[in-house]
Amino acid sequence: MDSGLAALLGAAVGSATTLGAAIVNSRAQARSQHAQWSRQHRRDAYAAYLSALHDRDIAMDAILDALRSDQPHLPSLDEKIDRFITLAREVHRAGEIVILEGPASVAEVAERVTRASSDLSHVMRRMAEHAHAEDTTRKAEDTALATERERILYQAVKDFRLAARSTLGKTN
């Protein structure tokens, strides 16, 4: 083989190798950028959900505090309930984005938060109905049940935080 042909063949192989490496590197970079983009969208969705939960929980605590008093001021209680309902809708909207962004493991924990919140809301609604009816016969029982459901809700929120951190790659 003459040296000119060998040089030309060597250059062709070198060019093909360089082109192949460039393609591989470009794809790896694209995958990395997509993963970072996806992680950021998930992080934003999880942060919005936790923020909505926080605001709703403050409203929920205000209702529970009002209901635990011996004589709740009913117009104030109704205002607090209206605020809670508005904020609960915001949690639902933020939760839908969490479910959309995934993964399924985080969506499942968000669904547990939803169930725990619903269970507590049912107790609060019953307590409010009893307060409006001036019926105190089940107040101690309902207050204890609300406390237990509140504990379950906060544990579910804590589990959500852990699942979200794990998904985002934060282990500590």
Residue from 82, 114, 79 nearest 96 by CA: 114
Residue numbers of the domain that contains 139: 44-168
Of the pLDDT bands very low, low, confident and very high (cuts 50, 70, 90), residue 160 is very high
Confidence of residue 68 (pLDDT cuts 50, 70, 90): confident
Please, are residues 125 and 80 in contact by the beta-carbon 8 Å criterion?
no
pLDDT over threshold 60, residue 70: yes
The total number of structural domains that make up the chain:
1
pLDDT digits (tens, 9 = 90+) for 100-152: 988 999 999 999 999 999 999 999 999 999 999 999 999 999 999 999 999 99
Q: Domain for residue 68, yes or no?
A: yes
95 domain-assigned: yes
The amino acid that residue 17 corresponds to is: T
Lowest mean pLDDT among 7-21, 45-59, 136-150, 154-168: 7-21
| Burial category of 157 from C-beta neighbours within 10 Å (exposed 0-12, middle 13-18, buried 19 and up) | buried
What mean pLDDT, rounded, does the chain reach?
87
Q: What is the pLDDT of residue 26?
A: 65
Would residue 142 count as lying in a domain? yes
CA separation, residue 111 to residues 34, 77, 91, 101, 158 (Å): 27, 28, 12, 14, 13
For residue 164, being part of any structural domain is answered with: yes
Domain assignment of residue 14, yes or no: no
| pLDDT computed for residue 3 by the predictor | 76
Residue at 27 is within a domain: no
Question: What is the predicted pLDDT for the residue at 111?
Answer: 94
Is 150 part of a structural domain of the chain? Answer: yes
pTM of the model: 0.78
39 falls within a domain = no
